[in-house]
Amino acid sequence: MKKICKIKIHPLLIPLFLFYLIQGNALLFLGILFFVTLHEIGHCITAVCFGAKIKQIWFTPVGERAIIKGLESPSFLQRQIIFCSGPLVSACMALICMICGSTIFAGFNFILCLFNLLPFLPLDGGNIVLHWAGKKYGILRTASILVKIGRGFGYFLMGIGILQVILYPFNLSLLVIGCYIVYSNKKEYLQITYQTYQALLAENATMKQVEQIYTKRDVKLGELVERMHFDRYFFYCSMKDGIVEWKSQKEIMELLLKKGAEAYVWK
């Protein structure tokens, strides 16, 4: 049987479960994990329906996170639906729990929905902003800014989390979430870069609308790549001695892999 995706468990998840177990809140922990799983299943189902693949599911201290492969295949609108599907599932679960009289889980799902829509990576809201702004400014250029902002947000949560522990001993929720966001953002840019390179080198990238851009002679490969995104296939041109030279998106990417981001495109 073909393996669909990898399952990875964050090392902090087990001690966190033991912490809840010692407090007598193991069922609460499992309930939270269940609803976060449903949230992530929402992303996975829509991603698969739009032609992407689930590469890895990562169980973390703040729930699961799916690593989606092939995000270049869905359209811009379809990608936004993928990112919004998780919060939508959480909103539906909040309504169902409220009808069933479970105010604790109704509140949790409501908070989960709103929290994931915050515009910070690696949250769903951060990915929504990444692809909206990336369409205008470039995926990698936008990602470099969002990663820094996300890391700052993580440190902010850690600071609030320390105060929370002082005022309410043994309540580690914000501290754990803050640590996770800081940890994730240290690797987020590399992950986005890897996914972007795969997308820009993909054969089906040529099926999208073409955009032609004139560049100066001294432009570097990295400058062009960081302004690319998934919704256009780019052709670049430059004038030399009255002759127009052209390079396709794939040629730029191959030169980047061969010479590095600091190499010049036309020299």
- pLDDT reported for residue 176: 78
Residues 6+ apart with CB under 8 A from 232: 208, 209, 210, 211
Helix (H, G, I), strand (E, B) or coil at 23: coil
Phi-psi region of 123 (alpha: psi -120 to 50; beta: other; left: phi over 0): beta
Q: Per-residue pLDDT tens for 12-44?
A: 777 777 877 887 778 888 888 889 889 988 998
Residue 1: the pLDDT is: 40
Report pLDDT for 113.
93
- What is the Cα Rg of the chain in Å? 21
Low-confidence ranges of the chain (pLDDT < 50): 1-2
At residue 61, the pLDDT reads: 65
Helix residue spans in the chain (DSSP H): 13-22, 26-49, 76-100, 103-116, 124-137, 139-167, 173-201, 221-225, 249-259
Q: Residue 78 burial (CB < 10 Å; 0-12/13-18/19+)?
A: middle
pLDDT value of residue 207: 58
Q: Kindly state the tokens that stand for 146.
A: 């969002």
Q: What is the pTM of this model?
A: 0.84
pLDDT of amino acid 206? 56
Q: What is the predicted pLDDT for the residue at 232?
A: 86
Q: Give the pLDDT score at 87.
A: 93
* Model pLDDT, residue 82: 93
